[in-house]
Structure 1
Amino acid sequence: MQSLDVLRRSPTADYVATVLHSVSLTPTIKAIRLRLDRDDFRFLPGQSVWPKFEQDGRKFSKIYSIASSPSSCPEIELCVSRVGWSSATLQDLAIGQSLPLRGPYGLMTLSELPQRPRLYIAEGSGIAPLKSQIDWLYECGYQYPIWLVQANPETPVHLPYQQHWQRLQQTWGNFHYREAIAQCPETVLARLRLDLATFDIVICAVGERSDQLQETILSLGAKLDQLRSEKFIAF
């Protein structure tokens, strides 16, 4: 297990990453494993990196959340949804190919173990920063309940990291996984009947879906000061 006293982030800097592995998680989402060229890279669970390259005169300018735990450094994993030219370029990188990137970035992070139960809600590749946090909490022996509600609007019957979550639920008594397949996360959340006022809640979804999920959570009794949401743009 990773010790809290070594959990820290390095200053934002430039790196060169090499593709180690690339695997399809759903028909549109890939997990891409990278190794950075320096061992001093450190990030907090929930942070991101910014791949930087050009294609046909267009600059790649999207930041991607890291899906792996900080314990895997200097290796990181990105969860990339194929929805446009930039994400397609990143998905099509060959094993052994290199690309420059900059990081870490991002403020929706964990720097110490929380002291309340946690509810995570993710749609599509928005699972990435939440996976980083959940995996790290598992490694640290986190003692409070964790719930994950996951959906994927792009291909509703295919959830990224689904088998990972199913295995984790079997081995970690504090972790509870609910799939929103052929239904929206709002329906699943309403059926859980959790006392949301006692939870820290994190939402990650595309654009206005993040706002819609936040409204639902608040209507079910969550406290605004214990809720964090992050929007991402798919292109």
Structure 2
Amino acid sequence: MDVTIVTRDGARLGVPCAEGQNVLAAAEEAGLYLPSMCREGSCGMCAAHVTEGAYEMGACAEGALPKGEGGVLLCRCLALSDLVVEVPVRDEQIGRHRVPERRAVIAGLVPAGAGALAVTLQLEADETYGAAADFVPGQFFEMTLPGADVRRAYSLANLPNWDGRLEFIIRLVPGGRFSGWLAAEARVGQMLELRGPMGHFALDEASPRPRVLVAGGCGVAPILSLLRQMAEYGDATPVHLIYGANREAEFLPPHVLAEMKAALPQLDVTYAVWHPEAGWNGFVGTAAEALSVVLASGAAVPDIYVCGPPRMLEAVEGAALAAGVPAAQFFAERVQS
């Protein structure tokens, strides 16, 4: 069977697909590396729409499938005939080289607000990729749980560097297999298998428009990476960070964003707390509600970058569209549980 992948900019890419093979795996066998994370039907990163042909969908997490007729997750979509599949990325965003596989040792495990860990990894040098941590701010790495076929993808919070250092902020999910291991068993010095970098969540550096960055929970990790990129390059573009959480205890320690404000004098920060405790003096409500207030200020329509849980992403996108922000100025990345 043949699968035709149609990109957002109209490129048509032919992929042979064996019986019983999912479309994502078939594309990778053909040398096309589409955006993906969990490969378990839960994160929604490989969402697409089948416009022609018969297919069967494997098990998916509730709410993971994209809306609309023919919505599929490529990691769970099995072709029953020739297919035409539309993907929400441009041709240039599809990788043509195998994603690097690396090894790294845990170098640090530090609490990062209630229910989260700041995890630092040190890449092991190898003959192919050397020792450096080479990635684009906003990208993520996939980690494999030691001794198990369990993989999770987490966004980087730091900048590319020659030292091979990778920094993550990871939410500790009750009952989560990977984050549960991090909380209870992981130790400095243990080795992890990595795959990456991956993803296309990155600043549009050519845009002259102001920026609004929206972070929900541990979605602050890639947002920090983007802010640090701006500081590193001396980027004077006006930027407003909306940082949302259920409780104020979930925010990163105050010094983290204080350092960012010192490095980026034009940075405005709104802390949005949905269920604040007595005495909270910041914004009360969701990140989406805070965004609506910012967009109603009458300033120039900004580029919006958002990272967080799926429901938060949907709410933020709805607020942006309601305020007249063009879809082309909206950039999003999901946080994986």
**TM-score, with normalisation over the residues of structure 2?**
0.61
Q: Which of 196, 200, 206 pairs up with 2:303?
A: 200
Q: Give CA-to-partner distance per residue, 1:136-167, whole Å, 9 cap, x none.
A: 111110011111101123x4433125431123
Preserved CA contact (<8 Å) 1:67 1:128 = yes
Find the counterpart in structure 2 of residue 216 from structure 1.
319
Find the counterpart in structure 2 of residue 81 from structure 1.
171
Query: Quick one: distance in 1 between partners of 2:262 and 2:305?
Result: 23
Preserved CA contact (<8 Å) 1:71 1:136 = no
Residue identity in the other structure for 1:217: A
Find the counterpart in structure 2 of residue 7 from structure 1.
none
Query: Quick one: distance in 2 between partners of 1:114 and 1:12?
Result: 28
Query: Quick one: distance in 1 between partners of 2:193 and 2:257?
Result: 31
What is the DSSP-based 3-state SS (H/G/I as helix, E as strand, rest coil) of the residue aligned with 2:227?
helix
- Cα deviation for residue 60 of structure 1 reads 1.7
Q: How does 1:129-140 map to 2 (within 5 A)?
A: 129-140=222-233
Residue identity in the other structure for 2:306: I
Query: Quick one: distance in 2 between partners of 1:162 and 1:51?
Result: 28
What is the identity percentage for the equivalent residue pairs of Structure 1 and Structure 2?
A: 23
Residue 164 in structure 1 maps to residue 249 in structure 2: no
Preserved CA contact (<8 Å) 1:29 1:81 = yes
Between 122-131 and 158-167, report the one with greater CA deviation: 158-167
Q: Which of 123, 145, 149 pairs up with 1:36?
A: 123
What is the DSSP-based 3-state SS (H/G/I as helix, E as strand, rest coil) of the residue aligned with 2:250?
coil
Query: Quick one: distance in 1 between partners of 2:320 and 2:204?
Result: 24
Query: Quick one: distance in 1 between partners of 2:264 and 2:105?
Result: 33
Residue identity in the other structure for 2:158: S
Q: Give CA-to-partner distance per residue, 1:36-89, whole Å, 9 cap, x none.
A: 01214410011111111345xx52221111111124651010111000121121
Q: Which of 64, 71, 80 pairs up with 2:154?
A: 64
Preserved CA contact (<8 Å) 2:115 2:171 = yes
Equivalences, count:
223
Find the counterpart in structure 2 of residue 142 from structure 1.
235
Query: Quick one: distance in 2 between partners of 1:93 and 1:111?
Result: 37
Residue identity in the other structure for 1:16: R
Find the counterpart in structure 2 of residue 6 from structure 1.
none
Structure 1 residue ranges, 4+ long, deviating more than 6 angstroms after superposition: none
Preserved CA contact (<8 Å) 1:31 1:79 = yes
Unaligned runs of 5+ in 1: 1-9
- Cα deviation for residue 12 of structure 1 reads 2.4
Query: Quick one: distance in 2 between partners of 1:165 and 1:73?
Result: 24
Preserved CA contact (<8 Å) 2:227 2:260 = no
Residue 22 in structure 1 maps to residue 109 in structure 2: yes
Preserved CA contact (<8 Å) 1:67 1:78 = yes
- Larger proportion of helix: 1
Query: Quick one: distance in 1 between partners of 2:303 and 2:106?
Result: 35
- Cα deviation for residue 34 of structure 1 reads 0.8
